[in-house]
Structure 1
Amino acid sequence: MSEHMHDHNCENGCDCGHDHGEEMTVTLTLDDGSELECAVLSIFPVGDNQYIALVPIEEMENEEGEGEVYLYRFIEHENNELELLNIEDDNEYEKVADAFDELLDDEEFEEMLEDEE
Structure 2
Amino acid sequence: MSEDNLNRPSGEPEEEMSVELELEDGTLVNCAVITILDVAEKSYIVLLPLDENGQNEDGEVWFYGYSEKEEDPNAEPELRFIEDDDEYEMVADAFDEYLDSCEFDELIDPENE
User: Which position in structure 2 is the counterpart of 1:70?
Assistant: 62
Choose the corresponding residue for 1:54, options 40, 43, 47.
Answer: 47
Q: Conserved in 2, the CA contact under 8 Å of 1:60 and 1:67?
A: no
The TM-score, its normalising length taken from structure 1, stands at 0.78
Q: How many residues align?
A: 105
User: Which position in structure 2 is the counterpart of 1:23?
Assistant: 16
User: Which position in structure 1 is the counterpart of 2:4?
Assistant: 9
| AA partner of residue 26 (structure 2) | G
Matched residues in 1 for 2:84 and 2:43: separation?
15
* Structure 2 portions without partners, runs of 5+: none
| AA partner of residue 109 (structure 1) | F
Matched residues in 2 for 1:23 and 1:85: separation?
22
What is the Cα deviation at residue 79 of structure 1?
1.7
User: Which position in structure 2 is the counterpart of 1:94?
Assistant: 89
Matched, 1:43 2:36: yes
The TM-score, its normalising length taken from structure 2, stands at 0.80
Residues 17-54 of structure 1 show CA distances to partners (whole Å, capped at 9, x for unaligned) of xx83x321111001111100001000010011001000
Larger CA Rg, structure 1 vs 2: 2
Task: Output the aligned Cα RMSD.
Answer: 2.4
Percent identity for Structure 1 against Structure 2: 47
In the TM superposition, structure 1's runs of 4+ consecutive aligned residues that sit over 2 Å from their partners are 10-13, 57-62
